[in-house]
C-alpha cells in the first residue's frame, strides 16, 4: 500500500491498468514534477475503501469494468453509491476511450469525474488539479437485508463504453442528455421505463422512510390494448396532472406507475381524479374501438402494514386490480 498521504488507489483487476499507472508515476518522479512522491496501490475489493478510508487528498480510481463477487457483489454504480460521501478524497471512473457520456454519468453516480484509458502521466496530473466539490453523505441507517436496486443496465453500459450513442451519428453531434435519456426512458410514451422505475421506487421509499415523509404510489392502467398514439396521449395527461417532483413511468404494456413524494392519501386521490377525468373527457379508444376505462390503485406510506418498498408497490397493485375488476375508477388501499 501507499504511504497514506500521497497515494493513488486503483480499484481494478486489470494488471495493465496498474502497470500503466505505475509507469506514469515512475516517469514523473524522474522529472520531479507534480506526480513525484505519489504511489499506486491496488484495491481488490471496494470494501477496503470503506474499512480503511483513503487519507484526505488521496486519489481513488475505480475501473468501470470491475465487478466484485460473493456476498459483496456490486456493479460499479453500486460501489459509487457506497463510496459517495464516505471518503474524503476525489474519486474517478476509469472508462473506455472516446466515451463522451462518462463525465456526466460518473458525476450522477457520485464520482468526481471520469478518466479514460489508457492512464498516462498527463491525465493523472490533470486529475490532481480537479475538485468536484463536496458531496452529501449517504444515510447510514439500517437498510435491511434487501439489496439496493441497481441502475438500469443500459445506463451502466453507457457509463463504461458510451454505447448509448447511435452507431450512425457521431457522438459530438449528440447531446449528453440524449444518451442518458435513451437508457431510462420508454421510447413510446417518453415516461421513465420499467428499469428506472424500479430504481426510483427503491430510492424514493428510502428517502421517505429516512425523513418520515409521506409517499404515495399509484398504479394506473386498463385491460385492453391501445395504439402508440393513445399511449402518448395518456402520457400527456399524466404529465399535465403531475408536479416536477413526481416520478411517472410505464410499468408494462398497458399499465403505469406513479411515485408521488411528500403526498398523502388525499393529495394522491386528487391527482388520480384529475387523470381519470381528463382521460374520460378525451374518450380514448382501444385497438378494437372500445372505450378505455381507466383503473387506478393507490398505496400510501407511512402505514402500519408497509415496512418496505415491496409492501408499498403491493398495496398499490392490489388496489389497482380491484379497481380494474370493477370496470374502472379509483381504489385507495386500506393498508
For 88-129, how does the pLDDT look when each residue is reduced to its tens digit (9 = 90+)? Answer: 778 888 888 766 666 766 776 678 888 888 998 888 888 877
Query: Of residues 30 and 214, which shows the higher confidence score?
Result: 214
Q: Is the model's pLDDT at 135 over the cut of 50?
A: no
Q: Is the model's pLDDT at 136 over the cut of 70?
A: no
Orientation angle between helical segments 194-210 and 309-325, nearest 10 degrees: 120
Q: How much is the average pLDDT of 184-192?
A: 88
- CA proximity to 152, closest of 102, 195, 197: 195
Q: Is the model's pLDDT at 65 over the cut of 70?
A: yes
Q: Which grid cell is 23? A: 509507469
Q: Is the model's pLDDT at 134 over the cut of 80?
A: no
User: CA dist 26 to 34, 42, 73, Å?
Assistant: 12, 16, 33
pLDDT at residue number 81 = 66
pLDDT at residue number 183 = 74
Q: Measured between alpha carbons, how far is 293 from 98 in angstroms, rounded to an integer?
A: 49
pLDDT at residue number 157 = 58
Q: Is the model's pLDDT at 179 over the cut of 80?
A: no
Among the listed ranges 139-148, 176-185, 242-251, which one has the minimum average pLDDT value? Answer: 139-148
- CATH for the stretch 7-128: 3.40.50.2300
Q: Measured between alpha carbons, how far is 302 from 208 in angstroms, rounded to an integer?
A: 8
- CATH for the stretch 194-332: 3.30.70.270
Q: Is the model's pLDDT at 142 over the cut of 70?
A: no
pLDDT at residue number 108 = 66
What average pLDDT does the structure give for the chain?
79
- Number of residues assigned to the chain: 335
For 263-281, how does the pLDDT look when each residue is reduced to its tens digit (9 = 90+)? Answer: 999 999 999 999 999 999 9
For 295-313, how does the pLDDT look when each residue is reduced to its tens digit (9 = 90+)? Answer: 999 999 999 999 999 999 9
Q: Give every strand in the sheet of 113-116, ordered side by side.
A: 39-43, 7-11, 59-63, 90-95, 113-116
Domain with CATH 3.40.50.2300 in the chain: 7-128
Which H/E stretch holds residue 282?
Answer: helix 265-282
Query: Of residues 83 and 126, which shows the higher confidence score?
Result: 126
- CA proximity to 80, closest of 49, 41, 117, 39: 49
pLDDT at residue number 260 = 96
pLDDT at residue number 100 = 66
Domain with CATH 3.30.70.270 in the chain: 194-332
Q: Which residues contact 207 (CB under 8 A, 6 or more apart)?
A: 213, 215, 261
Computed on alpha carbons and rounded to an integer, the radius of gyration of the chain in Å comes to 24
What does DSSP say about strands 59-63 and 90-95: parallel, antiparallel, or unpaired?
Answer: parallel
Confidence band, pLDDT 50/70/90 cuts, at residue 139: very low
pLDDT at residue number 168 = 44
Sign of the CA dihedral running 282, 288, 256, 308: positive
3-state helix, strand, coil split of the chain in percent (to 5) is 40, 20, 40
Q: Helix (H, G, I), strand (E, B), or coil: what is residue 328?
A: coil
Confidence band, pLDDT 50/70/90 cuts, at residue 76: confident
Amino acid at each position: 500500500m501507499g504511504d497514506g498521504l500521497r497515494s493513488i488507489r486503483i480499484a481494478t483487476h486489470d494488471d495493465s491498468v496498474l502497470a500503466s499507472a505505475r509507469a506514469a508515476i515512475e516517469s514523473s518522479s524522474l522529472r520531479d514534477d507534480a506526480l513525484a512522491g505519489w504511489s499506486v496501490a491496488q484495491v481488490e475489493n471496494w470494501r477496503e475503501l470503506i474499512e480503511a478510508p483513503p487519507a484526505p487528498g488521496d486519489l481513488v480510481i475505480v475501473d468501470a469494468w470491475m465487478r466484485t463477487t460473493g456476498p459483496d457483489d456490486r456493479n460499479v454504480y453500486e460501489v459509487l453509491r457506497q463510496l459517495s460521501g464516505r471518503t474524503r478524497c476525489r474519486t474517478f471512473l476509469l472508462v473506455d476511450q472516446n466515451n463522451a457520456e462518462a463525465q456526466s454519468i460518473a458525476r450522477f453516480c457520485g464520482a468526481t469525474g471520469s478518466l479514460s484509458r489508457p492512464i498516462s502521466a498527463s491525465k493523472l496530473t490533470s486529475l490532481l488539479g480537479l475538485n468536484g466539490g463536496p458531496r452529501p453523505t449517504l444515510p447510514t441507517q439500517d437498510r435491511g437485508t434487501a439489496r439496493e436496486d441497481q441502475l438500469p443496465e443500459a445506463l451502466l453500459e453507457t457509463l463504461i463504453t458510451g454505447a448509448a450513442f447511435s452507431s450512425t451519428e457521431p457522438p459530438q453531434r449528440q447531446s449528453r442528455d440524449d444518451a442518458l435519456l435513451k437508457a431510462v426512458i420508454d421510447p413510446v410514451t417518453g415516461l421513465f421505463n420499467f428499469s428506472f422505475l424500479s430504481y426510483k421506487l427503491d430510492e424514493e421509499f428510502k428517502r421517505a422512510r429516512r425523513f418520515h415523509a409521506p409517499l404515495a404510489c399509484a398504479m394506473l392502467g386498463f385491460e385492453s390494448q391501445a395504439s402508440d398514439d393513445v399511449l402518448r396521449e395518456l402520457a400527456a395527461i399524466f404529465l399535465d396532472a403531475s408536479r416536477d417532483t413526481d416520478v411517472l413511468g410505464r410499468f408494462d404494456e398497458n399499465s403505469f406507475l406513479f411515485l408521488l413524494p411528500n403526498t398523502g392519501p388525499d393529495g394522491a386521490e386528487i391527482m388520480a381524479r384529475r387523470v381519470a377525468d381528463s382521460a374520460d373527457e378525451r374518450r380514448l379508444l382501444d385497438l378494437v374501438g372500445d372505450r378505455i376505462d381507466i383503473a387506478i390503485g393507490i398505496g400510501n406510506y407511512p402505514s402500519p402494514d408497509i415496512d418496505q418498498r415491496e409492501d408499498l408497490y403491493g398495496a398499490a397493485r392490489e388496489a389497482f386490480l380491484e379497481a380494474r375488476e370493477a370496470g374502472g375508477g379509483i381504489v385507495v388501499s386500506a393498508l
